[in-house]
A and B are shown apart, each in its own frame.
Chain A
């Protein structure tokens, strides 16, 4: 291991809490704290958990062509996104393969904040630089490091200057609101607001990656430990990557590198609801063709009784013949069953279809299910039209 991993502003906090640090996407991140993954998952499903997600990128995109650029580079529309709102979508290559999945926030006219995955940040910046140069620039300059102002689009990577904390769970919004100067109670899903927390100017979005209600807080790096401390003092339980992976798998949320990669499309991943075909964008032709012609395989949910989990790369078969492959899986403490996701040939994608799972040489039955596995209960107080 030659490369030195990056550290978030909360690295020392994690170590002091007894967090077990592991490499992830080029960063040293806590996979769990001493209470363990099961307790952390429970905290998020029943109360509130707090995650350091500062390893994910913060890329500011601005300039007179910023909206045009994002409309072209993303599957989701920037031009129909109102300031104060955020949107989940994909970044596709020309073949429709997923370079990354992302949430982007419209801050103001021609000003956006985009969150790439940790390990994909260099790739996304490089790709955006190419797209800008080819479509909006002179076709040669690839100056993403210094921005690309000549092309009307400036990329400003603020990942190392800022932090991102996710407070998730049924009590998360109220807990964050108790620390914020104003305005979180009325915050709608996929909306964001600027406020102050612990004396720092922050951006709070009602977004997350756990299938639970909650917020993500963007703050200056220097404010990270103060906000973390305040949220944990208020009752949020520190949670690591292990719990995050279980929570997102229960919620059927894809993880790039597992359900998504540059040779897998949003059509195959059943993510077309995040694709706006009413505009032109990179990869659209390939996706339209696949939408009409059908796909070679399709993403499904998988469940099997017991606690022994289907795991990524396990083969799925029917009468011993290839039927697909598991991409993610775990024991689900919330549903007390084993579950996961995987790609199967379309003829095996109907919920209820029973497949064989090759569990390290042991063949067991596993059932295709609809996603998500877990949907949070509606709470009248906080329920919102989505």
Chain B
């Protein structure tokens, strides 16, 4: 499955899509590959609204039935919204990782950080290389 071309990707399998360049608003989630590898997701530990995140710094954790994995922020900035639906339905990230299963909305402090991330083609090649 190819990843959506409208966003950027980390090597840790997070994605980020810029929603509004004028306000530097962006939405962050994990990829289809990530949710597939995790298996059934049962719990997210996510930052709170107002928290600062830094590019490729740990921003939270995801627990599947099998294991716990760290979540990394694709960019630096401030958390302005957390997907509250995941509290009761973390499985949304399994069923729709690029849509309803998004994790957080951030205000980027330095949009040029996006240049350090991978395109969808690069990410898909990276995943194919790993497996």
Q: Is the CB of B63 within 8 A of A37?
A: no
Interface string of A3-47 (1 = CB under 8 A from B): 000000000000000001000000000011000111000000000
Q: Are A331 and B68 in contact (CB under 8 A)?
A: no
Q: How many residues from B make CB contacts under 8 Å with A?
A: 12
In whole angstroms, how far apart are the Cα atoms of A31 and B39 in the complex? 10
Which of A173-181, A274-282, A290-298, A306-314 interfaces with chain B?
A: A306-314
The complex places the Cα of A308 from the Cα of B65 at a distance, in Å, of: 9
CB distance from B31 to the nearest CB of A (A): 17
Which B residues lie within 8 Å of A36 (CB)?
39-40, 65, 94
Question: Cα distance A246–B39 when bound, in Å?
Answer: 14
Which B residues lie within 8 Å of A92 (CB)?
Answer: none
Alpha-carbon distance between A99 and B65 when the two chains are bound, in angstroms = 28
A31-B66, A37-B66, A242-B66 as given contacts; A360 in contact with B61, CB under 8 Å: yes
Q: Is there contact, CB below 8 Å, between B65 and A37?
A: yes
Given known A307-B90, A311-B68, A360-B68, contact A32–B63 (CB-CB < 8 A): no
- Give the Cβ gap from B19 to chain A, nearest Cβ, in Å: 29
Assembled-state Cα–Cα distance A163/B9 (Å) = 44
A153 within 8 A of B: no
Interface residues on A, range: 10 to 19
Q: How far is the CA of A331 from the CA of B43 in the complex (A)?
A: 9
Q: Is A50 an interface residue (CB 8 A)?
A: no
Across the interface, B65 reaches (CB within 8 A) one of A306, A331, A360, namely A331
A37 close to B68 (CB less than 8 A):
no
List the A side residues contacting B110 at CB < 8 Å. none
A164 to B14, CA, bound (A): 40
How distant is A323 from chain B, measured CB to nearest CB, in Å? 22
CB distance A309 to B40 under 8 Å? no
Which residue in chain B gives the minimum CB-CB distance to A330?
Answer: B65
Chain B hits for A309, CB < 8 A = 42-43, 63
- Whole-angstrom CA separation of A331 from B45 in the bound complex: 15
Contacting residue for B40 out of A38, A306, A308, A311, CB 8 A: A38
Are B39 and A308 in contact, with the CB atoms below 8 A?
Answer: no
* CA gap between A306 and B88 in the complex, in Å: 10
Interface members, chain A 213-246 (any B CB < 8 Å): 242, 246
B131 to A: closest C-beta gap in Å: 11
- On whether A37 and B45 interact (CB within 8 A), knowing A246-B65, A309-B63, A331-B63, the answer reads no
Smallest Cβ distance from A248 to chain B, in angstroms?
Answer: 13
Residues on the B chain within 8 Å of A331, using CB: 42-43, 63, 65
CB-CB contacts of A30-73 with B at 8 A, as 1s and 0s? 01100011100000000000000000000000000000000000
In the assembled complex, the Cα of A226 lies from the Cα of B35 at a distance in Å of 33
Compute how far the CA of A242 lies from the CA of B64 in the bound complex, rounded to whole angstroms.
11
B45 contact set on A, CB distance < 8 A? 308
Are B66 and A307 closer than 8 Å at their CB atoms?
Answer: no
Residue of A nearest to B88 (CB): A307
Residue of B61, B65, B68 with most partner-chain A CB within 10 A: B65
Contact at B39–A307, with CB atoms within 8 Å?
Answer: no
> In the bound complex, how far is the Cα of B35 from the Cα of A36, in angstroms?
11
Which residues of chain B are within 8 angstroms of A246 by Cβ–Cβ distance? 65
- Chain B 19-54 per-residue mask, 1 if CB under 8 angstroms from chain A, else 0: 000000000000000000001101101000000000
- The 6 A-B pairs with the shortest beta carbon distances in the complex, nearest first, are A307-B43, A331-B42, A37-B65, A307-B42, A38-B40, A308-B43
Q: Can you report 13 A-B residue pairs in the complex whose CB atoms are below 8 A from each other?
A: A20-B39, A32-B39, A36-B39, A38-B65, A242-B66, A307-B42, A307-B43, A307-B63, A307-B90, A308-B45, A309-B63, A331-B43, A360-B68
Known A-B contacts: A306-B43, A308-B43. Give 15 more (CB < 8 A). Answer: A20-B39, A32-B39, A36-B40, A37-B39, A38-B65, A242-B65, A307-B43, A307-B63, A307-B90, A309-B42, A330-B65, A331-B43, A331-B63, A331-B65, A333-B65
